[in-house]
Amino acid sequence: MTIHEIRQAYFDMLLEKEHVILSSSSLLPENDPTTLFTGSGMQPMVPYLLGQDHPSGKRIANAQKCFRAVDIEEVGDNRHTTFFEMLGNWSLGDYFKKEQIVWVFDFLVHTIGLNPKQLYVSVFSGDDGIGVPRDEEAVVFWQEQFGGVGVDAKAVDNVEKDGLQGGRICYYDEKENWWSRAGTPEHMPVGEPGGPDSEIFWDFGKEHEIHEQSKWKDQQCHPACDCGRFMEIGNNVFMAYRKTAEGFVGLDKKNVDFGGGLERIAAACNGNPDVFSIDVFGGARNMLTDLSGKVYGANEKETFAFRVILDHVRAAVFLIGDGALPSNKDQGYFTRRLIRRAIRFARDLGISTHFCGEVAMQYITEYKEAYPQLRAQEGVIVDALRQEETKFRKTLDGGMKEFDKLLKGFAIALERTGKHITEISGKQAFRLYDTYGFPLEMTQELAIEHGLVVDTKGFDSAFLQHKNTSRSASEKKFKGGLADTSDMSVKYHTATHLLHIALKRVLGDHVEQKGSNITPDRLRFDFTHNEKLTDEQKKEIERIINAAIEKNYPITFLEMSVEEAKQQGAIGLFGDTYGDTVKVYVVGDPREKAEGDPTAETFSKEICGGPHVERTGALGHLRIKKEESSSAGIRRIKAVLE
């Protein structure tokens, strides 16, 4: 089955189970300053898992676009990708363990046809210290399902030490089979919910012992090891507990959070552990073959390069489609890093011509039905990739010149001192990385060609110092935002709505929000516009906003469908950003004008999750402090309330 067929089959099954199918949220989280990207299917669902009522009900499902920047360096093996889709279904105080296990087994075995003899599951082994028992209940439900198709499902302990022991259901402790946002129970703060989970693994049937050179050669094989035989394809989280000062107590409403890796499920359907062999990579893979003359899978180094390019260009396509254009900061930094890594690895395939835009078109075509906004953003995506590739190819040439300077410096030192320098220092290697975009492995490859080594420990030290500096800056930058619901943050959040509509009135309807960041001290607002604002335009924007503040408009919200919001003229990034039911915040009176009452008119309607002040008069006076370029075609305003 193709991933599109698997995705649709999943939706069809859950529609029969009375679930509401939501669109994917954006890869760029809204109203969450604590993270740059949506990295899991449950991330947009956290408020509802914590008890907030979902406008679409108690049974929800979707396929969520995800991006994990931490996996960039892992890409190149047969299973890691930075971008992936997560199939998800949630029960918010409705069905629980039995229904979830029955349904997911039915989907995997009977709907998409996976062989149950190659399925293994894990369950929580219990923890007396926190008062949470062994999940024998889940074991019974799994055994019933396996037994129904004639498969014996013995439950076993100590698999890390003793191996599978003929078992199919494996008990693990909280390091493997407990879920909370904070990790294991001891790391959970008071008030945090969590619970045991039950993971699903696919057995590709290749014992790790056959890899004679591998580090697992003398170890026992079990589903949660990393030898390559097993691949996790899904996880059922049974959120049943909340941590208190006295210990763990049961939640009044138990939740289910299922996440299934769509690409990994497709790999299981193929019977091939290489996720890059699934259908969605086919067009791009063939394009790279045509450009390079190389065959995927022919040798290890070239296959590694294929995978990096296939993953990184796909991720960049989706990131740009959601507004993360290549830049030197925030989400755009990672888009740029992905593109540059792809170009660097294209050298290993002998590709010297521009390729990013052409490969991107393969993905846009592949996903045009599932994510039509990619087709709508085709020009922006392809242009951004081509421009970035052109820039980096020049940068790459500059980096090669810098490397040549190092070699000349070593030769001069040998002539002057007779000292033969054999090592590129960590600082020199990091400068090539940070300034010219050379990954460490690229510097190492060049060094080997010239009989040199690289001080990798020194590089790691320089990298760590840079990372800590960046993290400190990020923590300072994201100290507020809507995770901080202080009065000033809420005021600034409301002010962004006034700013958004004022920009449209002054500059035109082409203006769209492309990001925002709020602290208790100021707001930052990114929007589409190609030219620097004139002083007159900035003054007019301020005038419109402050006039709206002075009128002291009421602020209310209405819940409606996305289509109704469009019909009523609400602004917002329609498409993947929202669910099917949304909140539309109205500044002014939704009944439009009423004679003699200056507040009985609608100033703006915008889709948003809130919160906001009750009336605009609470904001004070807005002043634009700075207007600048953020990236190509994107401007940025910083403003304060006085």
Domain assignment of residue 613, yes or no: yes
Band of residue 32 on the pLDDT scale cut at 50, 70, 90: low
Tokens of 23: 């669109």
Shared domain check, 577 and 539: yes
Tens of pLDDT, residues 159-181: 999 989 999 999 999 999 998 87
User: Percent helix, strand, coil in the chain (nearest 5)?
Assistant: 45, 20, 35
Q: 83: which strand partners?
A: 67
Secondary structure letter of residue 35 according to DSSP: -
Flag whether pLDDT at 473 surpasses 50.
no
Q: What band does 482 get if pLDDT is binned at 50, 70 and 90?
A: very low
CATH number, domain with residue 12: 3.30.930.10
Question: Per the domain annotation, does 562 fall within a domain?
Answer: yes
pLDDT bin (cut points 50, 70, 90) of residue 8 is very high
Scan for tokens 């013995």, then name that residue: 154
For residue 265, pLDDT over 80 is answered with: yes
Domain membership of residue 434 (yes or no) is: no
Going by pLDDT thresholds of 50, 70 and 90, the confidence category of residue 469 is low
CB-CB contact of 21 with 65 (8 Å): no
Among 42-46, 350-354, 412-416, 564-568, the range scoring the smallest mean pLDDT is 42-46
Find the mean pLDDT for residues 362-372: 96
CA angle in degrees (0–180, nearest 5) for 12-13-17: 115
Alpha carbon distances (Å) from 443 to 134, 299, 301, 428, 486: 51, 22, 16, 10, 48
pLDDT band for position 591 (cuts 50, 70, 90): low
Residue 415 CB partners (closer than 8 Å, separation 6+): none
What would the mean pLDDT of 47-64 be, rounded to a whole number?
88
* 20 and 164 in a common domain: yes
Mean pLDDT for the stretch of residues 510-524: 86
Cα–Cα distance between 305 and 282 in angstroms, integer? Answer: 15
pLDDT of residue 50 exceeding 80, the answer is no
pLDDT in tens, 244-259: 999 999 988 899 999 9
Query: Does any domain span residue 465?
Result: no
Task: State yes or no: pLDDT of 104 exceeds 80.
Answer: yes
Of 365, 396, 427, the one marking the end of a domain is: 396
What band does 472 get if pLDDT is binned at 50, 70 and 90? low
My answer on whether 213 and 146 are in the same domain is: yes
Q: Are residues 109 and 31 in the same domain?
A: yes
User: How far apart are the C-alpha atoms of 303 and 292, rounded to whole Å?
Assistant: 12
Q: What is the pLDDT of residues 319-334, one digit of tens each?
A: 999 999 998 778 998 9
- Rounded to two decimals, the pTM is 0.71
DSSP class of 189: P
pLDDT score recorded for residue 435: 78
- Quote the pLDDT of residue 220: 83
| Mean pLDDT, rounded, for 141-156 | 97
Instruction: Identify whether 456 is part of a domain.
Output: no
In the predicted structure, residue 485 carries a pLDDT above the cut 70: no
217 and 346 co-located in one domain? no
Task: Find all residues with CB under 8 Å of 553, minimum gap 6, and list them.
Answer: 587, 588, 589, 599, 603, 615, 616
Taking the CA atoms of the chain, what radius of gyration do you get in angstroms? 27
pLDDT score of 309 more than 90: yes
pLDDT at 150: 97
pLDDT at 48 over 50: yes
Token reading at 17:
């189970």
Q: Say what the pLDDT of residue 509 is.
A: 87
**Residue 594 binned pLDDT confidence (cut-offs 50, 70, 90):** very low
**Residue 539, SS3 per DSSP:** helix
> Among the listed ranges 208-212, 292-296, 347-351, 493-497, which one has the minimum average pLDDT value?
208-212
**What is the DSSP annotation of 402-434?**
HHHHHHHHHHHHHHHH-----EE-HHHHHHHHH
Q: Which of 27, 29, 35, 69 is nearest to 477 (CA)?
A: 35
Q: How many residues does the chain have?
A: 642
Spatial contact of 145 and 93, defined as CB atoms under 8 Å apart: no
Q: In the predicted model, is pLDDT for residue 70 greater than 70?
A: yes
Band of pLDDT at residue 182, cut at 50, 70 and 90: confident
Q: How far is CA 60 from CA 181, 255, 258, in A?
A: 20, 11, 11
pLDDT at residue 597 in the model: 53
Kindly state whether residues 178 and 293 are assigned to the same domain: no
pLDDT surpasses 50 at 593: no
Structure token digits, residue 35: 């993270």
Q: What is the pLDDT of residue 86?
A: 95
SS3 51: coil
Write out the residue range of the structural domain in which residue 307 sits. Answer: 278-396
The answer to whether residue 466 is domain-embedded is: no
Judged against a pLDDT cut of 50, whether residue 424 lies above it is answered with: yes
Query: pLDDT class for 484, splitting at 50, 70, 90?
Result: low
Decide which of 396, 420, 451 is a domain's last residue. 396
Q: What pLDDT, on the 0 to 100 scale, is given for residue 481?
A: 35
Q: Across the chain, what does the average pLDDT equal?
A: 88
Dihedral of CA 180/184/187/188: which sign? positive
- Our CA angle for 323, 324, 325, nearest 5°, is 100
Residue 202 has pLDDT above 50, yes or no: yes
Instruction: Write down which residue in 396, 416, 432 finishes a domain.
Output: 396
Query: What's the pLDDT score for residue 578?
Result: 52
Domain shared by 46 and 149, yes or no: yes
Of 88-92, 372-376, 485-489, 525-529, where does mean pLDDT reach its minimum?
485-489
Residue 449 reports pLDDT greater than 60: yes
Could you report the per-residue pLDDT of 528-544, keeping only the tens digit for each? 998 999 999 999 999 99
pLDDT at 479: 35
Residue 356, CA atoms < 13 Å, CB-side half-sphere = 30
- Show contacts of 536-544: CB within 8 Å, 24+ apart: 537/506, 537/507, 538/624, 538/627, 540/506, 541/499, 541/502, 541/503, 541/506, 541/624, 542/622, 542/623, 542/624, 544/498, 544/501, 544/502, 544/505, 544/506
More confident site: 115 or 228: 115
Q: Number of structural domains, the chain?
A: 3
Query: Does residue 496 carry a pLDDT above 50?
Result: yes
Mean pLDDT in residue range 500-528 = 89
Q: Which of 258, 8, 271 is CA-nearest to residue 121? A: 258
The pLDDT-based confidence of 547 (bands split at 50, 70, 90) is: very high
List CB contacts of 498: < 8 A, sequence separation 6 or more: 544, 545, 548, 549, 587, 603, 604, 616, 619, 622
Asked if residue 234 has pLDDT above 50, the reply is yes
Mapping DSSP onto H, E and C, the string for 298-360 reads CCHHHHHHHHHHHHHHHHHHHHHHCCCCCCCCHHHHHHHHHHHHHHHHHHHHCCCCCCHHHHH
- Do 327 and 346 lie in one domain? The reply is yes
262 and 346 in a single domain? The answer is: no
DSSP 279: G
Same domain membership, residue 333 and residue 288: yes
Co-location of 165 and 285 in the same domain: no
SS3 category, 600: coil
* pLDDT for 581: 73
For residues 70, 75, 79, 85, the Cα torsion angle rounded to the nearest 10 degrees is 60
Query: Which of the listed ranges 199-208, 422-431, 508-517, 589-598 does the model predict with the highest average pLDDT?
Result: 422-431
CATH of the domain at 534: 3.30.980.10
75 and 165 share a domain?
yes
State residue 466's pLDDT score. 76
The band of 210, judged by pLDDT with boundaries at 50, 70 and 90, is very low
> Does residue 624 lie within any of the structural domains?
yes
Judge whether 451 lies within some domain.
Answer: no
Predicted pLDDT at 600: 60
| Average pLDDT rounded to a whole number, residues 370-377 | 94
pLDDT at residue 598, rounded to an integer: 53
